[in-house]
Structure 1
Amino acid sequence: MKLTVAHTPDPDDAFMFYAMITGKIKTSMEYEQIIKDIETLNHEAETGMYDVTAISANAYADVNETYALTRSGASFGLTYGPLVVGKSEVDFKKAIIGSPGLGTSSHLLFRMFVEKDADLRPMRFDLIPDSIVKGDIQAGIIIHDEQLTFQNKGLIKLAAIYDKWKAYAGDLPVPLGFNAIRKSLGKDVIANYIKDFENSIKYAQQHVEEAATYAMKYARYKDLELETKFIQMYVNDLSVDFGEKGRRALKMYYERAFKMGLLPEFNMEIV
């Protein structure tokens, strides 16, 4: 049996899938890898076109009847999360703010914790810093590697969403990126996939330089040290199985979104 597995080119995703895609571990099934940016995958998940797909916590609300979230492969911010940056201080109610996409977790987190009714302009996440520099937008929500490089462009941090999340949720991590699997595959196939994926993540964690070097083929920055730092921020203790702590964080994330009318209520399913 072969499953289609869609994930982003971000180094943390490539790092986690490395062993199962390249045959470094024995797997119960074959896997066909598809690589696309997260906002594209968020939209394509609405058609159920992939057996397994990366998905933002926000976008999962639209596909919860088709997909279940997997307990493995999630990206939680343990003490960090999306940042809002600009060239100088701005009024978030009046500024044009770049967003990585309407379906991204960072977009919803900004609306929940910074400014619900801001003028958010969706754009490719890696173009946001340069768009601020050029003056096309006054501020932007940055994710991924750009969180480690924005200061090189003369930008400053205007808001740390994690700080606002912490005030709300205490020591629970910020829910960001997840993987989802089609429920129609059945319990046995899902269980076999989860086992393969967990083993793949564990292999990468035990062979960091090897797996990070592989992930570099998809990286935007050709700096192994930088990309390894990014990987280790988001592939952490919760990546193999986010457990009860991850479930509670997701529950609080969705409860706030429901209460603010930013998402319709739905039943979350985790496998």
Structure 2
Amino acid sequence: MALSLAVSPCPNDTFVFHALIHGLVPGAPPVDLTFADVDVTNTAAENGAFDLVKVSYAALPWLLGDYELLHCGGALGRGCGPLVLTRGQRDLTGATVAVPGDRTTAYLLFRLWAADQPPARIEVVPFHQIMPGVAEGRYDAGLVIHEARFTYQRYGLTALADLGEWWEKDTGLPIPLGAILAKKGTVDAAQATEWIRESLRLGWLDPAAGKDFILANAQEMEPAVVTQHIELYVNEFTLDLGEEGLAAANALLGRAAAAGLTPEVKL
């Protein structure tokens, strides 16, 4: 029976899961793959739609009743946080800000960071539409993720804040972005962890094997940006969350609960 898997088409996910998706992991079942933005998978997971699913750490308080957090496969690290972009330096009070999802880690960090300068209006926008929208004046500011770190200057935009830098300076911890969940009662979490870790190991062993698959799904990113993306988001925390990664996730969710932004949860 096929394992239903939902991840983003971003290079870090396609790199990590290439071998598993293509039947190259010994003992792993066939995979029924769905590509979707994280805002879509956050909602789908709340409905129990997939066996394995990539979601935002910020969405975990609503999902851990039905899913178990795997300590591998996700996106967590340093120097990889969301950016707040504008067409010029400005205060956000009264601004309209485009965000990639209302339960994304990016938006949760933004709410914690912007507590003293709340914008007037938030609009949820697919992340690939945010930078053009800010550049064209549809939004006063945009909260961006992924490869936008490497390309926002092309739109004539300014980074008002690096929320990862802010988080790291404030906590000393890496930033927890995306998590992999396994559906309880359907997937053995320990087995799934080993499948994903072996898929990642195979990717590191032979990076060229998944190159065509990664580039074909990289939403028109050029190869140099794809390489930067993978190097930034696929790291030691992808292989094993470890004590530091778990501390980072608990710090984020603890602060969010204390601020009344999410239900309280302990990982």
TM-score (norm 1): 0.93
Q: Secondary structure at the match of 2:236?
A: coil
Paired with 1:88 and 1:37, the residues of 2 have a C-alpha distance of 28
Counterpart amino acid of residue 15 in structure 2: F
Aligned mates of 2:34, 2:112 — CA distance in 1 = 31
1:55-98 Cα distance to aligned partner (Å, 9 max, x none): 00111211110011110111013123001111101211221111
- Which residue type is aligned with residue 66 of structure 2? T
**Structure 2 Cα separation of the partners of residues 131 and 50 of structure 1:** 32
1:222: Cα distance to partner? 4.1
Are 2:68 and 2:189, in contact at CA under 8 Å, matched by a contact in 1? Answer: no
- Paired residues of 1:93 and 1:115 also in contact (CA < 8 A): no
Query: Which secondary structure does the structure 2 equivalent of 1:239 belong to?
Result: helix
Q: Distance in 1 between matches of 2:202 and 2:113?
A: 36
Q: Is the 8 A contact 2:74 2:180 kept in 1?
A: yes
2:264 is paired with a residue of what secondary structure? coil
Would you say 1:178 and 2:179 are equivalent positions?
Answer: yes
**Superposition deviation, residue 21 in structure 1:** 1.1
2:141 to 124, 127, 139: 139
Name structure 2 gaps, 5 residues minimum.
none
Question: How far, CA to CA, are the matches of 1:209 and 1:152 in structure 2?
Answer: 29
Task: Report how many residues are paired.
Answer: 265
Aligned residues of 1:12 and 1:234 also touching (Cα < 8 A): yes
Which runs of no fewer than 5 residues in structure 1 stay unpaired?
none
Q: Corresponding residue for 2:214? A: 215
- Quick check: 1:73 aligned with 2:69? no
Q: Distance in 2 between matches of 1:222 and 1:51?
A: 29
1:241 and 2:243 aligned: no
SS in 2 for 1:177: strand
1:61 maps onto 2:58 in alignment: no
The Cα offsets for residues 193-220 of structure 1, whole Å up to 9 and x where unpaired, read as 1111100011112222332332111111
Alignment correspondent of 1:257: 256
Moved over 4 A (4+): none
How many percent of aligned residue pairs carry the same amino acid? 29
Matches within 5 A, 1:146-161: 146-161=148-163
Query: Please, what TM-score do these two structures have when normalized by structure 2?
Result: 0.95
